[in-house]
């Protein structure tokens, strides 16, 4: 695998899709198989439901998740009972989900499993620590539609982004949507001093003065920005949003002045459109993050669930040229 050495430099990894059916499970299976060949002890869980034989929306066949001897996995009780592996239960979480308590088990004889995991990032962080304590060199979290929060650098050390024909049948549109998210993932970080100062702030909008002092602007959320008459720039042109960043906040700042710097916690807090971001940048606005996510690789699934297929080579090349980074077709990585 071209990016396997990069994966092994980290303790935890998330695999997230720009949409459903972008090849996350194929990528996960390949990583699990190669790491098993290398004798790397892995733990795996999910933030949604993964490993179903049939897509619930399109009724198309889906790849199942294959686990190997020694792998640890976390899933709900309901899906643990449907496993096609021989395994030993090592821990049952007292925290219940709609599908029963979470079960942590170790595979004794490999096979297929369904993974259904935590609904919150705090639970995921705890589970990843648990897997590490059980001796797992790497904890992997399989993603779910619109759940990019698991790719936050506060949850996993690194991430893989899966994109593909399910995003759009148009290569131009696919490139545009992927490039926008890629650019957000790769936003510049603030300096270490500002990160240390701002990281403990749990909520609200804050003004950062030129002398480095931080001031509460009295607005609990960016989504309430239109209801406040507060002068956002009274402490200077640098604003820290401790929670979500919305189009409304960007547009409000764009209308106030040129050259504003907006600091977000990380890219998963950015609920913004390309149009609002472009307008902000055109007014010399700068968007920074406290912590940047470590993007290991971008993968492509050229086949959509509706049946149309993009040309793999030319689409990978178009994405690579636009992003200036390699893009891999998940089905064409050499199967050593």
Is the pLDDT assigned to residue 331 strictly greater than 60?
yes
- Identify the band that residue 28 occupies on the pLDDT scale cut at 50, 70 and 90: very high
Distance CA 305, CA 312 (A): 16
Percent of the chain scored above 90 by pLDDT? 70
The answer on 162 and 55 residing in a single domain is yes
Distance CA 200, CA 307 (A): 48
Is the pLDDT assigned to residue 53 strictly greater than 50?
no
Kindly report, residue by residue over 292-311, the tens digit of the pLDDT: 999 999 999 999 888 889 99
Asked if residue 143 belongs to a domain, the reply is yes
List beta partners, residue 55. Answer: none
The answer on 158 and 52 residing in a single domain is yes
Asked if residue 89 belongs to a domain, the reply is yes
Q: Which two tokens stand for residue 108?
A: 């004794």
Average pLDDT over residues 311-326: 94
- Identify the band that residue 61 occupies on the pLDDT scale cut at 50, 70 and 90: very low
Domain that holds residue 196: 192-289
- Residues of the chain by 3-state class (helix, strand, coil), percent to 5: 30, 30, 40
Asked if residue 10 belongs to a domain, the reply is yes
The answer on 115 and 214 residing in a single domain is no
Tally of residues, the chain: 336
In this structure, of 149-158, 276-285, 313-322, the range with the lowest mean pLDDT score is 149-158
Asked if residue 335 belongs to a domain, the reply is no
pLDDT of residue 151: 75
pLDDT of residue 255: 92
pLDDT of residue 254: 94
pLDDT of residue 265: 95
Kindly report, residue by residue over 244-297, the tens digit of the pLDDT: 999 999 999 999 999 999 999 999 999 999 999 999 999 999 999 999 999 999
Query: DSSP letter at 309?
Result: B
Strands 238-241 and 261-264: parallel
The answer on 121 and 243 residing in a single domain is no
Distance CA 232, CA 17 (A): 35
- Identify the band that residue 51 occupies on the pLDDT scale cut at 50, 70 and 90: very low
Asked if residue 334 belongs to a domain, the reply is no
- Identify the band that residue 94 occupies on the pLDDT scale cut at 50, 70 and 90: confident
- Identify the band that residue 58 occupies on the pLDDT scale cut at 50, 70 and 90: very low
In this structure, of 26-35, 47-56, 83-92, 313-322, the range with the lowest mean pLDDT score is 47-56
Distance CA 328, CA 237 (A): 41
Is the pLDDT assigned to residue 169 strictly greater than 80?
yes
The answer on 111 and 52 residing in a single domain is yes
Asked if residue 106 belongs to a domain, the reply is yes
CATH number of the domain to which 29 belongs: 3.40.50
The answer on 152 and 23 residing in a single domain is yes
pLDDT of residue 87: 97
Asked if residue 37 belongs to a domain, the reply is yes
Query: DSSP letter at 157?
Result: S
Asked if residue 336 belongs to a domain, the reply is no
The answer on 179 and 56 residing in a single domain is yes
- Give the residue with greater pLDDT, 114 vs 53: 114
State the total domains in the chain: 2
The answer on 156 and 263 residing in a single domain is no
The answer on 99 and 176 residing in a single domain is yes
The answer on 220 and 125 residing in a single domain is no
Residue located via tokens 């071209």 = 2
The answer on 127 and 25 residing in a single domain is yes
Strands 294-301 and 270-271: unpaired
The answer on 145 and 81 residing in a single domain is yes
pLDDT of residue 317: 95
Residue 78 belongs to what H/E stretch?
Answer: helix 77-80
CATH number of the domain to which 259 belongs: 3.40.140
Q: Tell me how crowded residue 211 is: count the other CB atoms within 10 A of its CB.
A: 7
């Amino acid at each position: 695998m071209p990016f396997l050495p990069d994966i092994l430099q980290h303790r935890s990894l998330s695999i997230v899709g720009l949409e459903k059916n972008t090849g996350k499970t194929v990528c996960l299976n390949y990583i699990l198989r190669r790491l098993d060949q290398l004798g790397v002890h892995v733990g795996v869980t999910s933030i949604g439901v993964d490993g179903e034989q049939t897509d619930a929306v399109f009724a198309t066949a889906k790849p199942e998740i294959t686990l190997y001897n020694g792998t640890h996995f976390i899933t709900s009780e309901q899906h643990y009972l449907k496993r096609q592996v021989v395994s030993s239960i090592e821990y049952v979480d007292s925290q219940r989900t709609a599908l029963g308590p979470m079960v942590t088990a170790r595979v004794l004889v490999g096979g297929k499993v369904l993974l259904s995991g935590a609904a919150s990032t705090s639970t995921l962080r705890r589970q990843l620590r648990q897997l590490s304590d059980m001796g797992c060199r790497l904890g992997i979290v399989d993603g779910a539609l619109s759940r990019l929060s698991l790719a936050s650098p506060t949850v996993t050390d690194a991430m893989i982004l899966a994109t593909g024909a399910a995003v759009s049948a148009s290569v131009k549109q696919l490139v545009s949507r992927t490039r926008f998210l890629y650019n957000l993932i790769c936003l510049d970080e603030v300096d270490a001093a500002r990160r240390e100062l701002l990281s403990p702030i749990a909520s609200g909008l804050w003004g950062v003065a030129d002398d480095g002092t931080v001031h509460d602007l009295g607005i609990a959320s960016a989504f309430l920005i239109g209801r406040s008459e507060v002068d956002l720039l009274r402490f200077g042109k640098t604003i820290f949003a401790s929670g979500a960043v919305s189009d409304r906040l960007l547009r409000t700042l764009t209308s106030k002045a040129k050259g504003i710097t907006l600091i977000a916690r990380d890219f998963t807090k950015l609920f913004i459109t390309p149009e609002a971001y472009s307008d902000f940048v055109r007014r010399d606005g700068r968007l920074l993050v406290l912590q940047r996510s470590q993007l290991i690789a971008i993968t492509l699934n050229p086949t959509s669930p509706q049946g149309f297929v993009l040309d793999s080579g030319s689409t990978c090349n178009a994405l690579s040229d636009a992003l200036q980074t390699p893009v891999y077709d998940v089905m064409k990585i050499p199967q050593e």
